[in-house]
């Protein structure tokens, strides 16, 4: 981080992130202190020699009521040559629309931090430690799919090389397979490994069945009703620090959406219908579909298929892996229940209530989870 002063915007999550990167001569105070001209001890330490970076990201995202507070902060920043507004890159476009007439310089937070700050990086620059952490979480939390996990880690490493050679922009996965085999869980694990303090960017194309679905995705053209609201994808990108995008039920997309993603994977960026540009270089986009390996080529156009970095089939796992999930889920759920209610239920009593034949015939991990939940409730009732 640059030697200087960070003025912090108030949420505990970002405060903890800043403190981890804080230099001895950095001071962290609240933007509310600036807005209300509260000369507390921290503000009194600011001199003309300090480079002051005012982070307004969480203020800007949280509520329209804060726009007056931000306007007040901007008015103070403008008269101080060594003060700067900083904001997360994903909110930069919208912020310039709202306040661009008042302030020329807005610095993305990512430029303030080194790549060593885990919250500010993308998938083109993962360190060995970050890759090891991802591999560990996948092996621990994604049940089965051993060969996929090994290949995926290799592809992550290859992507970094090819990205930095200018050969590829976005890393993209197409995951086929039955519902409940871990496709969506894969995206959640990757997101939580690196961006647990932010919302995952998730789009379910099963909800996009009407004409003009592309408008719902990236917003209507200027002048059309609702154009000021933007689209679901563009809004979620602007309001999240995550670099993971999950596109569920991809087979439900229409031709316009297929073409949109073809261009996005090719160019690494897109322009919404209000002419705002979104740069997604370094993002990971995971597309899931319930299609099988033998028929996904009949639904998804060949030019689009050729753009995916990796394609994989998630097949149902065997009894041994499902039983391992049952045991570990039962242990975790019982421990949570005992801690919450001061009880001493044994997880083994919960497992005894689950028929092994039912486990063997169940392909969907969501159903396995419900088996454990029902067994826990039954055990609780028996102990009362």
Which has more confidence, 109 or 133?
A: 133
**What's the token pair of residue 23?**
């230099």
pLDDT of residue 8: 66
Q: Tell me if 191 sits within 8 A of 152, measured CB to CB.
A: no
* Structural domain ending residue among the three candidates 55, 76, 111: 111
pTM across the whole model:
0.74
Nearest by Cα to 291 from 355, 248, 255, 326: 248
Regarding whether 266 and 162 lie in a shared domain, the answer is: yes
- Residue 120 in any domain: the answer is no
- Residue 118 in any domain: the answer is no
**What's the token pair of residue 6?**
């960070």
Q: 159 pLDDT exceeds 80? A: yes
pLDDT of residue 33: 65
Q: 209 pLDDT exceeds 80? A: no
- Residue 162 in any domain: the answer is yes
Which has more confidence, 66 or 247?
A: 247
CA of residue 58 relative to chain centroid, distance: 16
Regarding whether 228 and 359 lie in a shared domain, the answer is: no
Q: 232 pLDDT exceeds 70? A: yes
* Structural domain ending residue among the three candidates 314, 339, 359: 314
Regarding whether 205 and 157 lie in a shared domain, the answer is: yes
- Residue 273 in any domain: the answer is yes
Residue 115's pLDDT band, with cuts at 50, 70 and 90, is very low
Cβ burial of 174 (10 Å; 0-12, 13-18, 19+) is buried
CA of residue 184 relative to chain centroid, distance: 13
pLDDT in tens, 54-67: 888 777 766 666 77
Regarding whether 269 and 211 lie in a shared domain, the answer is: yes
Regarding whether 146 and 242 lie in a shared domain, the answer is: yes
* Structural domain ending residue among the three candidates 267, 290, 314: 314
pLDDT in tens, 179-202: 999 999 999 999 999 887 678 899
pLDDT of residue 117: 41
pLDDT of residue 116: 38
Regarding whether 61 and 29 lie in a shared domain, the answer is: yes
What percentage of the chain reaches a pLDDT higher than 70? Answer: 79
**CA–CA dist 139, 150 (Å, integer):** 9
Residue 111's pLDDT band, with cuts at 50, 70 and 90, is low
What percentage of the chain reaches a pLDDT higher than 90? Answer: 45
What's the average model confidence in pLDDT over 100-118? 61
Regarding whether 308 and 262 lie in a shared domain, the answer is: yes
- For every residue of 36-49, DSSP letters joined together read TT---HHHHT--TT
Regarding whether 227 and 334 lie in a shared domain, the answer is: no
pLDDT of residue 208: 78
What's the average model confidence in pLDDT over 242-253? 93
pLDDT of residue 63: 60
Regarding whether 306 and 324 lie in a shared domain, the answer is: no
Q: Structural domain of residue 352, as residue ranges?
A: 319-383
Residue 98's pLDDT band, with cuts at 50, 70 and 90, is confident
314, β-bridge pairs: 177
- For every residue of 141-187, DSSP letters joined together read HS-S-HHHHHHHHHHHHHHHHHHHTTS-S-EEEEEEE-TTSSHHHHH
Which has more confidence, 145 or 81?
A: 145
- Residue 123 in any domain: the answer is no
Regarding whether 334 and 291 lie in a shared domain, the answer is: no
Regarding whether 324 and 297 lie in a shared domain, the answer is: no
- Residue 260 in any domain: the answer is yes
pLDDT in tens, 282-320: 999 999 999 887 788 889 989 999 999 999 999 999 999
> How many domains does one find in the chain?
3
- Residue 119 in any domain: the answer is no
Regarding whether 87 and 146 lie in a shared domain, the answer is: no
Residue 41's pLDDT band, with cuts at 50, 70 and 90, is low
Tell me how many degrees the CA angle 25-31-36 measures, rounded to the nearest 5: 120
Which has more confidence, 290 or 276?
A: 290
CATH of the domain at 155: 3.40.50.300
Computed over every residue of the chain, the mean pLDDT equals: 83
- Residue 121 in any domain: the answer is no
Residue 329's pLDDT band, with cuts at 50, 70 and 90, is very high
């Amino acid at each position: 981080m640059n030697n200087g002063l960070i003025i912090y915007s108030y949420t505990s999550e970002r405060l903890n992130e800043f403190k981890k990167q804080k230099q001895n001569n950095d001071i962290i105070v609240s933007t509310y202190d600036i807005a209300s001209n509260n000369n507390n001890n921290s503000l009194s330490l600011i001199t003309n020699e300090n480079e002051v970076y005012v982070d307004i990201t969480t203020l800007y995202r949280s509520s329209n009521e804060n726009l007056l507070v931000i306007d007040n902060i901007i008015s103070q920043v403008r008269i101080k040559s060594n003060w700067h507004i900083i904001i997360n890159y994903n909110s930069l476009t919208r912020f310039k629309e709202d306040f661009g007439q008042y302030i020329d310089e807005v610095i993305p937070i990512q430029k303030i931090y080194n790549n060593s700050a885990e919250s500010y990086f993308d998938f083109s620059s993962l360190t060995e430690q970050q890759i090891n952490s991802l591999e560990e979480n996948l092996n621990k939390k994604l049940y089965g799919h051993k060969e996929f996990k090994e290949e995926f880690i290799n592809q992550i490493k290859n992507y970094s090389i090819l990205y930095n050679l200018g050969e590829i922009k976005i890393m993209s996965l197409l995951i086929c397979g039955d519902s409940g085999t871990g496709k969506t869980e894969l995206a959640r694990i990757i997101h939580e490994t690196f961006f647990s303090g932010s919302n995952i960017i998730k789009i379910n194309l099963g909800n996009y069945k009407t004409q003009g679905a592309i408008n719902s995705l990236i917003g209507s053209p200027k002048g059309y009703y609702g154009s000021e609201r933007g689209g679901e994808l563009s809004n979620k990108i602007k309001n999240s620090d995550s670099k993971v995008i999950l596109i569920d039920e991809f087979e439900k997309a229409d031709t316009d959406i297929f073409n949109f993603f073809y261009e996005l994977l090719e160019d690494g960026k897109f322009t919404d219908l209000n002419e705002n540009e979104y740069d997604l270089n370094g993002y990971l986009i995971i597309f899931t579909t319930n299609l099988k390996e033998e028929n996904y080529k009949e639904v998804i156009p060949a030019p689009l298929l050729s753009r995916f970095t990796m394609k994989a089939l998630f097949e149902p796992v065997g009894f041994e892996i499902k039983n391992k999930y049952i045991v570990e889920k039962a242990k975790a759920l019982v421990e949570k229940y005992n801690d919450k209610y001061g009880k001493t239920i044994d997880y083994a009593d919960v497992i005894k209530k689950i028929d092994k034949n039912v486990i063997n015939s169940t392909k969907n991990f969501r159903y396995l989870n419900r088996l454990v939940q029902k067994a826990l409730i039954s055990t609780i009732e028996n102990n009362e």
